[in-house]
Chain A
Amino acid sequence: MRVRSMILLLLIVVVVSAAGYYLTVINPVTDDIDLGLDLVGGIRVVYEPVDPAEATDQAMNQAVETIRFRVDKFGVAEPLIRRATSPLTGTQRIIVELPGVKNADEARRLIGKTAMLEFVDESGQVIVSGKDLVEAQAMYEVSTNRPIVTLSFNAEGRDKFAAGTSANVGKIIFILFDKEVLQAPTVMEPITNGEAQISGYLDIGEAQQMASLLNSGALPLELKMVENRTISATLGSDSVNDSVRAGLIGILAVAAFMLLFYRLPGLVANFALAIYVLIVVVVLAAINATLTLPGIAGIILSVGMAVDANVIIFERVKEELRNGKTIGSAVESGFRRALWTIIDANVTTLIGAAVLIKFATGPVQGFGVTLGIGILASMLTAVLITRLLMRLVVQSGAGNWQFLFFGRQGVREA
């Protein structure tokens, strides 16, 4: 029993240390965690349509597509562009977040601009523009089964396009989007009925994207900026450095406190704390969470709270010891009697975290996420891991050296 427990204990320590080494040094799992805008710098802009009546589903989707097209030029690794609805007014919105974007001012200027679609000839003469286009549609050409985009123009556009194509047979017409060439089809014959088609796409997806872009040029939705936050990369990296340093200091202080106050059980709790930190980091990476500054604060804070469960248990074990129980049975009943206290005490903080995840946005939401994960992980490690370790420690014979447990005061009456 004693030898087996010692070996098991040793095994756990080795396995956890190896896992920790692997996850932090060899293949850092932290690489999989995205950093939020407040940590890498970048911009967040929220747009609303100037005229809410224009904000049809289709128009909004096209606006998103237009913005995505523009944002792609900035080389942002993970841009976020999504639609949202104001819970207060029901207004449609578009949220754009560009982490790590270098030229924030330029990015903002370009994103918010109303789309500009033009068809020009080789001499740069404008033939038709976005307002002449009624609709662009992606489809398969019936006879060849090739993906194509069909264009239909309004009456004015039909006349202009007829004149333009007649004058440019055999030549190229450039389709410009924000003055950038989208495509350069060659005119095969004059198109006089206002219905044109463009081919040359790899697949239907490419054709659909093109149609969407053309439509967004055809249906310019004027957007206004209602929220705009910019964080410089300098401030972001300062925040990362400061918070990591603060976190290390805080965690070391807690570890020292536990060791001084609870001795061997304190060491066990610290080991469980290390496992706890690993769990939190792995879960954050697994759910693809975005780490924000308040999020880091949430992790650090939950470390302080994580030892709470251990403190409740150890104080309970101390009491059981004073009531004359042996260390073995004191540990068992201490854990059993502390369980519901721990659950009750943590559920309330979980409620707060859940509310934050639901109602907050951005950095503050990140705090809710890490706080919630932290609390769940801390309960898990305290109730399962600390318990297992304490059991093994007691069984491996450490119980004979009572001074290791909580110090003199704890066992005075035992």
Chain B
Amino acid sequence: MTNKRGDLFPQFDFTGNWRLWFAVSGIIILIGLLSLFTRGLNVGIDFTGGSAVDLKFAERVTVAEVRDALADFGHGAAEILSSPEDPDLIILRTQTFSDEQEKEAIYEALRTRVGEFEELQSQHVMPVVSQELARNAMLAMLIAAAGILVYVSFRFEWRFGVAAILALVHDALVTLGLFSIFQLAVDMPFVAAILTIMGYSINATIVVFDRIRENLKYRKKERLGELANASISQTLMRCINTSATTLLVVLAVLLFGGRTIQSFMLALLIGVLAGTYSSIFLASPLWLMLRGEIGKMRTAKA
């Protein structure tokens, strides 16, 4: 598994097998895009406007009971969620209640027809605010991407920068796609997760590129593909260990951190995995492509 220097998988052709890696990512992204275009994202009220309340009932209740009570108030189309682990917890999402009176009337109806409950959380966002949050989220992502692009192209030659950004787009698409496939909630914390993933994923890519750049100084006779393979192999242990420690904390929070933060951590989990994959298997082949050296392997340079 290791060579004399202790590099992991020194014989492995990371860049030569690029077709396989691209195919794996391509399929995941394609399914994700299909889902995005057909089913879309489960966008939370942060960005659509509306009301969302979490109600903890005294005893277990059914979604049908709750829907019946809501229908009289014109909220029959509300999204009503309950989870098997927590059968007395009901999460409602609907168009914004018109005012406090309507909310109180609905609560009163729920109390008499369904049962006693405690309001754990309630959120009401008017379209004027949600449009703004959505705009801020888009702007934040664009500015972060631009900032990263500027920094990377300032520190690295442009081909490295473009390859790193493409790897980043890959991670974001995979995360978005999986969130669409599993219809997980996309809200402001999700945007924070995406921004973190951007920073994190580029981080791993930079470590690899940094090594390629360093090796370029000393190993001038080698084919770029082989040089890239060696660089990946030399930094592989670091990539795996960093991902491992980050995944350890993400998993700890995902499993023990409570319900309110789960989708945020899930986005991070997917992003960290995608980011690690893309920095090992995608970023370097992309760079080789930009250099016109992809697939030119194992042939001595003239």
Residues of A within 8 A of B260 (CB): 38, 235, 239, 293
- Does A250 sit within 8 A of B, measured CB to CB? yes
Shortest beta-carbon distance, A414 to chain B, in Å? 10
- The reply on A127 being an interface residue by CB < 8 A is no
Count residues of chain A with CB under 8 A from any CB of chain B.
80
Residues of chain B within 8 A (CB-CB) of A242 are: 256-258
Is B62 part of the contact surface with A, judged by Cβ < 8 Å?
A: no
**B192 & A301 in contact (Cβ 8 Å cutoff):** no
Q: Which residue of A lies closest to B201 (CB)?
A: A348
Which chain A residues in 238-270 approach chain B with CB under 8 Å? Answer: 238-239, 242-243, 245-247, 249-251, 253-254, 257-258, 261
For the complex, give the distance between the alpha carbons of A413 and B7 in Å. Answer: 12
Tell me if B71 is interfacial: C-beta within 8 Å of chain A. Answer: no
CB distance from B211 to the nearest CB of A (A): 8
> Chain A contacts of B242 at CB under 8 A?
305, 307-308, 311-312
Closest to B122 in A: A230
- A206-250 CB mask vs B (1 if < 8 Å, else 0) is 000000000000000000011111111011001100110111011
Chain A 286-317 against B: per-residue CB contact (8 Å), 1 yes, 0 no? 00000001100100110111011001100100
Contact A351 B210 (CB under 8 A): no
State whether the Cβ of B248 lies closer than 8 Å to any Cβ in chain A: yes
Q: Among residues 123 to 167 in chain B, which have CB atoms less than 8 Å away from a CB atom of chain A?
A: 123-126, 128-129, 131-132, 135-137, 139-140, 143-144, 147-148, 151-152, 155
A250 with B248, Cβ < 8 A, contacts A242-B257, A243-B261, A355-B144 known: yes
Of A228, A311, A344, A368, the residue contacting B245 (CB under 8 A) is A311
Do the beta carbons of A88 and B261 come within 8 Å of each other? no
- Closest beta carbon of chain B to A375's beta carbon, Å: 8
Contact, CB under 8 Å: A348 / B206: yes
Nearest-neighbour CB distance to chain A for B118, whole angstroms, equals 7
Chain A residue numbers with a CB within 8 Å of B241 are 257, 261, 311, 315
Q: Taking chain A's interface residues, is the majority helix, strand, or loop, or is none over half, making it mixed?
A: helix
**Contact at B118–A356, with CB atoms within 8 Å?**
no
Q: Are B234 and A319 in contact (CB under 8 A)?
A: yes
CA of A367 to CA of B125 in the docked complex: distance in angstroms?
21
Q: In the complex, which residues 241-291 of chain B have their Cβ closer than 8 Å to any Cβ of chain A?
A: 241-242, 244-253, 255-258, 260-261, 264-265, 268
B1-27 to A contact mask, C-beta < 8 Å, 1/0: 010111000000000000000000000
Q: Report how many A-B pairs have Cβ atoms within 8 Å.
A: 229
Query: Known contacts A225-B124, A242-B258; is A305 also within 8 Å of B246 by CB?
Result: yes
Q: Is the interface of B mostly helix, strand, loop or mixed?
A: helix
Contact (Cβ within 8 A) A300 B252: yes
A410 to B5, CA, bound (A): 9
Cα distance, A360 to B170, chains bound together (Å):
24
Contacts of A410 in B (CB 8 A): 6
Within 8 A of B (CB), among A35-81: 38, 46, 48
Asked whether, in the complex, the Cβ of B248 is within 8 Å of the Cβ of A234, the reply is no
- What per-residue 1/0 map shows which CB atoms of A24-36 lie under 8 Å from chain B? 0000000000000
User: Is A230 a contact partner of B199 (Cβ separation < 8 A)?
Assistant: no
Q: Are A294 and B268 in contact (CB under 8 A)?
A: no
| A279 vs B251: C-alpha distance when bound (angstroms) | 24
- Do B6 and A322 touch across chains, with their CB atoms under 8 A apart? yes
- Asked if A303 and B249 sit within 8 Å, CB to CB, the answer is yes
Among the interface residues A89, A235, A305, A348, which one has the most CB atoms of the partner chain B within 10 A? A348
Closest Cβ–Cβ distance, residue A226 to chain B (whole Å): 4
Does B253 lie within 8 Å of A109, measured CB to CB? no
In the complex the two chains form, is A352's CB within 8 Å of B206's CB?
A: no
- Asked whether, in the complex, the Cβ of A359 is within 8 Å of the Cβ of B6, the reply is no
Q: CB-nearest residue of chain B relative to A235?
A: B120
Q: Are B199 and A360 in contact (CB under 8 A)?
A: no
A86 at the interface (CB under 8 A from B): yes
The one of B124, B206, B264 that contacts A294, using a Cβ cutoff of 8 Å = B264
The smallest C-beta distance from B63 to any residue of chain A, in angstroms, reads: 21
A348 touches B131 (CB 8 A): no
Q: Which residue of B lies closest to A228 (CB)?
A: B124
Is A353 in the interface zone, CB < 8 Å from B?
A: yes
Expressed in whole angstroms, the Cα–Cα distance for A386 and B43 within the complex equals 44
Asked if A254 and B249 make an inter-chain contact with CB atoms under 8 angstroms apart, the answer reads: yes
Find out whether the CB atom of A245 lies under 8 angstroms from the CB atom of B256. Answer: yes
Could you tell me if A294 and B191 are in contact, using CB atoms closer than 8 angstroms?
Answer: no
CB–CB B131/A227 < 8 A: no
Q: Find chain A residues with CB under 8 A from B249 CB.
A: 247, 250-251, 253-254, 300-301, 303-304
Residues of A within 8 A of B155 (CB): 344
With both chains docked as a complex, state the minimum distance between the C-beta of A224 and any C-beta of chain B, in angstroms.
8
The CA of A351 and the CA of B244, in the complex, are separated in Å by 23
- A297 near B206: Cβ-Cβ < 8 Å: no
Question: CB-CB < 8 A to B131: which residues of A?
Answer: 88
Q: Which residues of B contact A293 (CB under 8 A)?
A: 260-261
Inter-chain CA distance A347–B249, complex, in Å, is: 21
| Chain B residues closer than 8 Å to A364, beta-carbon distance | 188-189, 191-192
Say how far A246's CB is from chain B's closest CB, in angstroms.
4
**Is the beta-carbon distance between B143 and A346 smaller than 8 angstroms?**
no
Question: In the bound complex, how far is the Cα of B253 from the Cα of A250, in angstroms?
Answer: 7
In the bound complex, residues from chain B placing their C-beta under 8 Å from that of A246 are 252-253, 255-258
Measured between beta carbons, the chain B residues less than 8 angstroms from A352 are 144, 148, 195-196, 198-199
Q: Which residues on A sit within 8 Å (CB–CB) of B152?
A: 348
A46, A230, A354, A409: the one contacting B121 at CB < 8 Å is A230
12 contacts between A and B (CB under 8 A): A87-B135, A88-B132, A226-B125, A226-B129, A243-B261, A304-B247, A315-B235, A318-B6, A348-B152, A349-B196, A352-B195, A358-B140
**3 closest Cβ contacts across the A-B interface?**
A349-B199, A250-B252, A242-B258
Residues of chain A whose beta carbon lies under 8 Å from any beta carbon of chain B:
38, 46, 48, 86-89, 91, 105, 108-109, 225-232, 234-235, 238-239, 242-243, 245-247, 249-251, 253-254, 257-258, 261, 293-294, 297, 300-301, 303-305, 307-308, 311-312, 315, 318-319, 322-323, 340-341, 344-356, 358-360, 363-364, 367-368, 371, 409-410, 412-413
Given contacts A250-B253, A294-B261, 10 further A-B contacts (CB under 8 A): A38-B260, A228-B123, A235-B260, A246-B255, A250-B251, A311-B245, A319-B234, A351-B144, A351-B148, A409-B2
